Amino acid sequence: MKRFLDLADLERDAVLDLLALAARLQKHPEPQALAGKILGMVFFNPSLRTLASFQAGMARLGGTSFVVTPGQGTWKLEHRLGAIMDGDRAEHVREGIPVLASYCDAFGIRAFAEGTDLAFDLAETQFNAMAATVNKPLINLESAVNHPCQALADWKTMDELGVPQRGKFVLSWVKHPRPLPLAVPAATLHMAAMRGMDVTVLRPDGFALPDAIMEKARRAAAASGGSVSETTDRAAAMKGATVLYAKEWGSTRFYGDVEGDSTLRSQLGDWQVDERWFANADQDCRFMHCLPVRRNVAVADHVLDGPRSVVLHEAHNRMPAQMAVLHRLLANSN
């Protein structure tokens, strides 16, 4: 494996191998596996879990890491091609990214969607332009429409909890004060479909996931024996659900239109998960969320603190899942 950018780049068996490696590393640590190796990471957007779990995971494998957050103690980086750089951005990613990558053995990039042009974001234009300048093993730390590290950890979590492969997985839109990117919903939908689950996307009108994201998930489901559907009907979606995965995202009807999005979401006050959502779900239905989550906006305290919630389990699994990725990319490499 040379790059970890999208679970869809891997065969299902390769994902299962990564999950087995993650479990093995958890049970039988290899504190020297990556001795002498360096992971470099650039974060154009904030992080708690991704940053800390990669640094901790790299250290647990005997390697080391550095993190750059452009503009915080470093030059601000320009990413627009053809930009006339007479503003506050002193360096272009076309120099900055390959320079950073040249210092390490593997490199990771976090660069969220711009959120103004859906086609631009769906094409991963910004991430791909930077990725093209990196000639080292590369990891997607969350891009415009993907978060494969989160997806891998969530798959691991469901396996450990015994969530049936053909269980019903509901990915639901939930409230947030402002539009958030499509990366986690897109990656989560694809992951659950690839796992072979019966996936329902539950979302209000105006928040349908783009066709390209739905089609990608349907292809994964067709290959794994799962299914993908979507609805605005909460009761129908939650009937028999084994997982409710809550996520916030921006209106696709008003993509890049902050005012239009704001008006629409202001009418969606009842899209906060509480125990009533589980009335006709499987009695053991789990509540999942990638974090960070806004308490009593996206989900009520009693769900987040209750027995259904596995959010801390998911967050912890980021580390072993990523250790497997690092091991695959770097162990025994010259």
Of the pair 150, 172, the CB lying nearest ligand CP is at 150
Which of 21, 37, 44, 50 is the binder for ligand CP (CB under 6 A)? 50
Shortest distance, position 108 Cβ to ligand CP, whole Å: 11
Which of 37, 49, 195, 216 is the binder for ligand CP (CB under 6 A)? 49
Which of 3, 16, 30, 47 is the binder for ligand CP (CB under 6 A)? 47
Shortest distance, position 272 Cβ to ligand CP, whole Å: 20
Near ligand CP in 279-308, by CB under 6 A: 290-292
Near ligand CP in 136-155, by CB under 6 A: 142, 150
Shortest distance, position 257 Cβ to ligand CP, whole Å: 25
- Based on the shown chain and the rule CB under 6 A, indicate whether residue 65 belongs to the binding site for ligand CP: no
Shortest distance, position 292 Cβ to ligand CP, whole Å: 6
Of the pair 129, 291, the CB lying nearest ligand CP is at 291
Of the pair 281, 293, the CB lying nearest ligand CP is at 293
Shortest distance, position 63 Cβ to ligand CP, whole Å: 20
- Based on the shown chain and the rule CB under 6 A, indicate whether residue 69 belongs to the binding site for ligand CP: no
Shortest distance, position 192 Cβ to ligand CP, whole Å: 16
Number of residues counted as binding ligand CP (CB under 6 A): 9
- Convert the chain into a string of H (helix), E (strand) and C (coil): CCEECCHHHCCHHHHHHHHHHHHHHHHCCCCCCCCCCEEEEEECCCCCHHHHHHHHHHHHCCCEEEEECCCCCCCCEECCCCCCCCCCCCEEHHHHHHHHHHCCCEEEEECCCCCCCHHHHHCCHHHHHHHCCCCCCEEECCCCCCCHHHHHHHHHHHHHCCCCCCCEEEEEECCCCCCCCCHHHHHHHHHHHHHCCEEEEECCCCCCCCHHHHHHHHHHHHHHCCEEEEECCHHHHHCCCCEEEEECCCCCCCCCCHHHHHHHHCCCCCCCECHHHHCCCCCCCEEECCCCCCECCCECHHHHCCCCECHHHHHHHHHHHHHHHHHHHHCCCC
Q: Which residues bind ligand CP (CB under 6 A)?
A: 47-50, 142, 150, 290-292
